Amino acid sequence: MAQQVPTELPEPAIVLDNVSKSFVLHLMGGTRLDVVRNVSFAVPPASCTVLGGPSGAGKSSLIKMIYANYRIDTGHILVRTPGGMVDIATASPRAILRLRAKTIGYVSQFLRVIPRVAAVDIVASHGLGAREENRDRAISLLRHLSVPERLWALPPATFSGGEQQRVNIACGFMADKSVLLLDEPTASLDSRNREAVVDLIERRKQTGTAIIAIFHDQALRDRLGDTVIDVTRHAATADGA
């Protein structure tokens, strides 16, 4: 009988090691609010890790720490790049910008764009290919997400909330980056457009992307999550500084 050779696990695309973050509320007498404490997990390629827990548990804050919108207090956030692991906790601003440009994609809850720029141009600007290639891909994503063609040449500030979110999603999926952060990407979408986003997520998993996501819908967490991290185990209460 042939001996079965164990399958080697892929090296993680991103690792969080004892990550903690707190805010000091100066208008409340220096009260310290601990958002998360000692969070540790690793995300392999071609997988989706879902952050679970109630509203206010620190899920969105943790996403922002990984994207370096918030600096962490202690611990390490390691991201794999072609040149090796980069620690977001100690990386320079220039290194952070390189990570965002080449390695980490992010779909936030809000669309922030330059005023008076056409939606199709905003989406295309997030691509990494040639100009025409980026525009073609932007059009394909806008079609997939059911953004009406009559809106493509208009600035997204004039769009409805759901339309703006679909433009936001298109921006996040433009470039094939190895890490993708999703903060409630389907929260304001109807069932048809929710399925379109699920399709994009499943395709990205198949192509090897490591995804960290927040979903308010339990059915989506169960459907897309390979692992669920209960953030409430790491959340803390406010106490005096």
- pLDDT single digits (tens) 27-43: 666 677 778 889 999 99
Q: What is the phi/psi pair of residue 188, to 5°?
A: -110, 20
List, for residues 110-165, the tens digit of each pLDDT value: 777 777 899 999 999 999 999 999 999 999 999 999 999 999 999 998 898 889 99
According to the CATH classification, is domain 14-103+177-239 in 3.40.50.300? yes
Confidence of residue 239 (pLDDT cuts 50, 70, 90): very low
pLDDT tens by residue, 55-76: 777 899 999 999 999 999 999 9
Q: With bands split at pLDDT 50, 70 and 90, how would you rate the model's confidence at 180?
A: very high
Q: What is the chain's alpha carbon radius of gyration, rounded to the nearest angstrom?
A: 19
Which of 160-174, 208-222, 225-239 is least confident? Answer: 225-239
Rounded to the nearest integer, the mean pLDDT of the chain is 88
Q: For 82-92, write each residue's pLDDT tens digit.
A: 999 999 999 99
The model's pTM: 0.89
pLDDT in the model for residue 8: 65
Which pLDDT value is given to residue 1?
47
pLDDT computed for residue 241 by the predictor: 33
Strands (E), the chain: 14-25, 31-43, 47-52, 74-81, 84-87, 104-107, 179-183, 210-214, 227-230, 238-239
Tell me the three state secondary structure of residue 224. helix
Kindly report which listed range (155-159, 180-184, 230-234) carries the lowest average pLDDT score.
Answer: 230-234
**CA–CA distance from 59 to each of 50, 52, 106, 146, 230 (Å)?**
10, 7, 14, 28, 9
